[in-house]
A and B are shown apart, each in its own frame.
Chain A
Amino acid sequence: MTFKISSADPLGRFLGLVASLIVVAGCGGSGSKVTPTPTPTPPSGDNVLAVDINLGPNGDYVNGLFTSVQVCAPGSTTNCVTIPDVLVDTGSYGFRVLSSALGSLSLPSVTDLSGNAVQECVQYVSLAYNWGPVVQADLHLSGETASSASIQVISESPTYPVPSSCLVLGTNGAVDYNTVSALGANGILGVGALPQDCGSDCAEASPTTPMYYSCPNGNCQITSVPTSTTKGQLWNPVALFSQDNNGVLISLPTVPAGGQATASGSLIFGIGTQSNNAIGSAQIYATTPDQYFTTTYNGVSYRESFIDSGSNALNFLDSTTLGNIECSDYTGFYCPASTLNFNVTNTGINGTTGPVSFSIANADLLFQNLFAAYNDLGGDSGTTPSTQYFDFGIPFFYGRNVFVGIAGATVPNGASAPNGYWAY
């Protein structure tokens, strides 16, 4: 990890702050929402997990949403370890943890039909990957429990070498997320809108998806792993709870345009199951089978948009379209000369439609503050005809209550959302 944090001295921080305030003041109205949702008082209950935006274990993660997860050997209440700095990710499914964070906790293997220990390779859109064995554990999240859940142990020094069929960049050019320095977290808590991380593709007799492997005689091959709730694929832990299992609510406070050092909020389990997770006036945006909805901007419809707490920016359009505003040093982020304001409209497949407004400030100037929480951080989605989407990352969550409804679960208000939904 090579981050340029050169202005650590107080004067540098002060000048950076001043610079970003000037930019913001020059534009006015930055960071305002058309339909603000009042930030509720911090909820409490056995379905509430505290979450924080902070710099993470490496001290350099911006807009990372972290929590702690207690991991226990199946059936044990004493053979446990609490994992801090776990990233909360609505863009993935299942719990993954670095072996270094588990320490000496021993967990039983998940095996395939031939009795071989199952290994998993997970791809990310950034083209990095995780590799390591699938094991069973009890996960305790606040008062909720996912019993005998399949989880992935991400191994820095794996028993088996990662199969080339998973390495999309080739063996020599591969980028792994198998260490805390690379992942920027001790693990990932995937609580998106699907129950499993692969589904029927990986449960076929001869799967084509290069995700689950077993390695008899050290030779790793793709293997069939069922979608069963135990001893199978990784499940979104929420879908394994005995209650409050139809989705989550993420509630984060408003963050000022220039950002702030940290932010604290809540990950609340269940939707409409308790007094603290009522959907209230939030609108339900039902998604396609790929968990997409449509974002309309300047009369153009971007039909593969999604909301993702694992994305640390608002990723949309491209630098060329927006006037060559890509940062010269922080690859992928936007660095406009002055703050830009955007008004878009989101539409679910159930017909729900509503406006979203956001602002994009200069990432170079923002980062000089050395904060963790930035409301106005944007980046390139490389929008081309084949990839038309807005990726509403963490900045979208600030000042909102965002619900993630799991596909196939009960939907409040009798709405139709068989593929899952977002509500806000």
Chain B
Amino acid sequence: MKIMLGVSLILALHAAPAWAVLGEYESSVSLDRQYMRGEDRVTTGQGYKLHQITSPNGAVVSEYISPQGRVFAVSWRGPFIPNLQQLLGSYITQVQQAAQTQTRRRGGPLVVRANDFVFVSGGHMRAFHGSAYVPSLFPQNVSAEVVR
């Protein structure tokens, strides 16, 4: 069973399309939910819905869904960085550009603060964490404080 769960998570994080994408609709999550059963914990917060997939090694990917069904934030935490191209969708180009141009700063975090996109990659080897969100997609009365 444990092995099967691990396979499920790999597919969720590395295959496409397998998980909802920042800024897009939740539609693919329902399919994934069957596939990820036992791992995808869905909770409803004040004004938003939260999907959390947890892998056997403790890696967690969280997706924040607005009442309109849009993914307004994602976060991750664990021994590796998930496939950000998949999680961030079209927003990945801004992160790629930042990663390619941040040459003088070494060994530190990568931060993007664009007009309507915030991205942070932090931590260190074996303990990575980060988040990304789209301010304009936040539901009313929900602040960035909820993204953890």
Contact = CB atoms under 8 A, between A and B. Distances in A.
A209 B57 contact: yes
B103 A3 contact: yes
A173 B110 contact: no
Interface in A363-398: 367, 379-387, 389, 391, 393
B136 interface: no
Contact of B127 (A290, A313, A379, A380): A290
A290 B118 CA distance: 25
A124 interface: yes
Residue of B3, B109, B125, B131 contacting most chain A CB atoms (<10 Å): B125
A1 B105 CA distance: 12
A127 interface: yes
A95 interface: no
Contact of A175 (B10, B14, B100, B111): B100
A265 interface: no
B80 A123 contact: yes
B110 A1 contact: no
Given A208-B55, A384-B131, A393 B126 contact: no
Contacts of B119: 382
Interface residues of A, number: 75
Given A127-B81, A165-B83, A312-B107, A201 B124 contact: no
- Pick the 10 closest A-B CB pairs, nearest first: A382-B111, A173-B96, A382-B120, A170-B85, A290-B127, A310-B107, A386-B131, A332-B105, A201-B57, A311-B107
Given A123-B128, A208-B10, A168 B105 contact: no
B56 interface: yes
Interface in B84-129: 84-85, 92-93, 95-96, 98-111, 113, 118-129
A262 B92 CA distance: 38
B98 A387 contact: no
Contacts of B131: 384, 386-387
B107 A333 contact: no
A206 B102 contact: no
A379 B104 CA distance: 11
Contacts of A211: 80
Given A169-B96, A190-B125, A208-B55, A330 B120 contact: no
A379 B109 CA distance: 9
Contacts of B139: none
Interface residues of B, number: 57
B120 A208 contact: no
Contacts of B93: 173
A89 interface: yes
B127 A291 contact: yes
B10 A165 contact: yes
B75 interface: yes
Contacts of B85: 167-170, 173
A1 to B, nearest CB: 6
A124 B107 contact: yes
B107 A393 contact: yes
B147 A125 contact: no
Nearest to B78: A209
Contacts of B147: 384-386
Given A91-B125, A206-B7, A312-B108, A2 B103 contact: yes
Nearest to B98: A331
A314 to B, nearest CB: 9
A206 B127 contact: no
A380 B111 CA distance: 7
A219 interface: no
B110 A209 contact: no
A385 B111 CA distance: 14
Contacts of B122: 125, 304, 381-382, 387, 389, 391
Nearest to A385: B145
Contact of A332 (B111, B118, B148): B111
B96 A199 contact: no
Contacts of A192: 124-125
B106 A125 contact: no
Contacts of B125: 91-93, 122, 124, 190, 192, 197
A228 interface: no
Interface string A171-183: 0010100000000
A308 B124 CA distance: 9
A124 B104 CA distance: 15
A125 B111 contact: no
21 contacts: A92-B125, A122-B125, A125-B81, A125-B123, A126-B102, A164-B14, A168-B81, A175-B100, A192-B125, A209-B80, A304-B123, A311-B106, A312-B108, A313-B105, A313-B108, A330-B105, A332-B110, A382-B111, A382-B118, A385-B147, A391-B122
Interface in A81-138: 89, 91-93, 122-128
Given A184-B106, A315-B108, A385-B144, 8 more contacts: A126-B99, A204-B56, A208-B59, A311-B107, A332-B111, A381-B120, A382-B110, A387-B129
